[in-house]
Homo-oligomer: A and B are copies of this chain.
Amino acid sequence: MFKPTIMQPSPLTAAPTIAQIQQRHEAIVSYIHRTPVLTAQSINDISGAELYFKCENFQKIGAFKMRGGISAALTLSKEELAKGIATHSSGNHAQAIAMSAKLLGVPAYIVMPNNSPKVKVKAVEGYGAQVTFSESTQASRESTLEKIIAANGAHFIHPYDNYDVICGQATCAKELIEDVPTILDAIIAPIGGGGLMSGTCLSTTYFSPQTKIYGGEPKAVDDAFRSLQSGTLQQNKTTNTIADGLKTNLSDKTFSIIKDHLTEAFTVEEEEIVAAMRLIWERMKIIIEPSCAVPLAVILKHRKVFEGKRVGVILTGGNVDLEQLPFTKN
């Protein structure tokens, strides 16, 4: 059978076009899972909406970050790859870079803050990456990474302020749109650094232009909400949220895309996040992170916006510490 050769993708210098997302999806497809879209009658009944959950908790490394990591890695030349890929992260992006390097057979260098949970350090090391500890400050993380890169020439892959990462994350909404047997009235994703949200904005605009695009954010880290309100990039004042994947701030690249395409951003309280998380665990029997309960919390809180609508909900990941769950005893 004729099988077209997949060209090595070139690094992007601007927000990806529709063709670039399509080509990138072909390039990464053998490195990622096509995750299922699940429905849950009882949550439809509770919300009054028809929800389609895109389950990136079943993605490789347990989160959508795999898409962006491998997408960026594949743009590197053989010579660049041989020197390895690197990042600083205590979360899913660290695992995505480690796994991408493993699949490509190249070294990975991950800087992790010295207060990272042991379980996350073990996961990254389990993929064969070399972990270097830094202080937990942003400055220490960056300077530690710079030293490693200076020493071995590894290529830094930023978790979201990177058009190739955004292009990879865009494949998630693309698959959701392709796999849902109806035209969606809306798609909703959580907003952290904005890599997933900006990719979701682009794919929805390209592949389902009539679909509205919503973002959800914890009230405690509402930089995106305030940035959109004010029109200029705002910073989070705290990182005091259970949604550990959403503590980061938008970047220039992600804010630029999101402000042009997002229909609206909503914020939710911590207890609303936990309640939505629990609902998904109990009714769907799947494990999701607090971060990806934010969209359902938004849907339940802003019932009038979503009632009677067909809504795609991106469940971003399932990496939780089972010893630290928020379901307190009665």
Chain A residues within CB distance 8 Å of chain B = 36, 57-58, 62, 278, 281-282, 285-288, 318, 322-325, 327-330
Contact = CB atoms under 8 A, between A and B. Distances in A.
Contacts of A62: 285
B318 A323 contact: no
A167 to B, nearest CB: 25
B318 A322 contact: no
Contact of A318 (B285, B324, B325): B285
Stoichiometry, copies per complex? 2
Contacts of A325: 322, 325, 327
Nearest to A329: B323
A316 to B, nearest CB: 12
A260 to B, nearest CB: 34
Nearest to A42: B126
Contacts of A327: 322-323, 325
A330 B321 CA distance: 11
Given A285-B62, A287-B286, A278 B329 contact: no
A329 B287 CA distance: 18
A324 B62 CA distance: 24
A29 B58 CA distance: 27
Given A285-B286, A286-B286, A287-B287, A322 B58 contact: no
